[in-house]
Amino acid sequence: MWLTDMQKIGVALTSFGGVFMLLGVMMFFDGALLALGNILFLSGITLIIGPQRTFYFFARKNKLRGTVCFIGGILLVFFKWPFVGVIVETFGFLNLFGDFFPVILTFLRQLPFIGNLLSMPYIRDVADRMAGSRTSVV
């Protein structure tokens, strides 16, 4: 499947959002970097899957707790509570996007060096347990 230009921009924005959030945490919960990372991440997700599908993803009934925590964490970061905001936001992120971890693990196992590392006996068991997948694909 080929990505449109808007989806490519969305992937870049989402990636930069993740980098800025990581930098914000590394810089002792710098509120400006965390806020910029949140804005870029949400903008990127919206460009990747579209505004309507983004709304429906966050508004699903079974994802409501994750959505409230994720948006609440972002608001806490904006209101100068970055440490608490990141914790709440991480909880919401795991509730929202936790279903994708087995898919991400399967993709990572197909990469040249990382796949070999993730397929090692003890690492495979830990990675499967962390991703929540029952069996190993490789």
Q: What tens digit of pLDDT does each residue of 19-36 get?
A: 999 999 999 999 999 999
Q: How many domains does the chain have?
A: 1
Q: Is 3 left (phi over 0), alpha (psi -120 to 50) or beta?
A: beta
Note if the pTM is more than 0.75. Answer: yes
Q: What is the DSSP letter of 64?
A: H
Structural domain range at position 50: 1-59
Q: Identify whether 113 is part of a domain.
A: no
- Which pLDDT tens digit goes with each residue over 58-96? 999 999 999 999 999 999 999 999 999 999 999 999 999
CA angle 45, 9, 93 (to 5 degrees): 20
> By 3-state DSSP, what share of the chain in percent is helix, strand and coil, each rounded to 5?
85, 0, 15
Q: What is the DSSP letter of 28?
A: T
